[in-house]
């Protein structure tokens, strides 16, 4: 994000830079809060009181946001929130509980990305040029891109991401893939994050989903 802002800084005034940063900050808060709250809500519905007891069953961003994770979002475009702790032994149905808790954050981010893409698409047709409109467009664009990026990233079947936990919920404890990922997942994740090819792949996937969403919203005009 910081590189994007530096590239635009010569074209923006002070108020536009502030609006740009605020739009990014709020969109990250919304995406991360919704993601973690979904985990907490589903875990609670499945019978585990742990998230509620730890104060995570809330839409208050301060209960979910990690200060260092947020800083990383601004510096390198990748960050994290505080993970929701659950006790699967409390679930009414162990495997179903694990599966739904794992996938809930991803589903929430996809739904939000879809809705914000529609809001951004229709905002393009507003004949307005002021600071609030500048803020609104970047806010909606960031809300779409961050939510869909979180969803895609967490779909990766790599420990400790949600995609891995979803697959793990259907596997035995001795499953070789699960054991391998639990041992080497963090290293694999680090390698993926620093590989330029992944960034290229990632951008194409996000752009492709954006085109699909915009094509859908275009049916209403």
Residues recognised as catalytic: 36
Mark 152-166 as b/e (b = at least 16 C-beta within 10 Å).
bbbbbebbebbbbbb
> Residue 99's Cα: distance from chain center in Å?
18
Q: Can you read off the two tokens belonging to residue 200?
A: 């290229």
Question: Of 157, 52, 168, 153, which Cα lies nearest the Cα of 105?
Answer: 153
Type and span of the H or E element at 185: helix 176-193
Question: Of 104, 67, 70, which Cα lies nearest the Cα of 84?
Answer: 104
| Residue 190 exposed, middle or buried by CB count within 10 Å (0-12, 13-18, 19+) | exposed
Q: Can you read off the two tokens belonging to residue 62?
A: 């301060």
**211: which residues sit within 8 A by CB, 6+ positions away?**
none
């Amino acid at each position: 994000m910081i590189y994007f802002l530096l590239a635009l800084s010569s074209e923006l005034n002070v108020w536009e830079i502030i609006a740009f940063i605020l739009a990014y900050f709020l969109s990250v808060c919304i995406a991360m809060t919704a993601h973690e709250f979904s985990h907490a809500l589903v875990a609670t519905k499945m019978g585990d009181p742990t998230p509620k007891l730890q104060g995570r069953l809330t839409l208050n961003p301060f209960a979910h946001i990690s200060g260092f994770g947020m800083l990383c979002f601004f510096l390198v475009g990748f960050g994290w929130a505080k993970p929701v702790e659950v006790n699967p032994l409390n679930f009414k149905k162990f495997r179903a509980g694990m599966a739904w808790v794992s996938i809930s954050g991803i589903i929430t981010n996809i739904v939000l990305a879809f809705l914000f893409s529609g809001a951004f698409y229709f905002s393009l047709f507003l004949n307005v040029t002021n600071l609030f409109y500048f803020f609104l467009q970047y806010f909606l664009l960031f809300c779409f891109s961050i939510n869909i990026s979180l969803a895609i990233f967490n779909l990766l079947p790599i420990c400790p991401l949600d995609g891995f936990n979803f697959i793990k919920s259907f596997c035995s404890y001795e499953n070789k893939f699960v054991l391998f990922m639990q041992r080497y997942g963090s290293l694999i994740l680090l390698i993926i994050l620093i590989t330029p090819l992944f960034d290229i792949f990632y951008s194409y996937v996000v752009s492709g989903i954006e085109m699909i969403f915009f094509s859908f919203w275009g049916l209403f005009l």
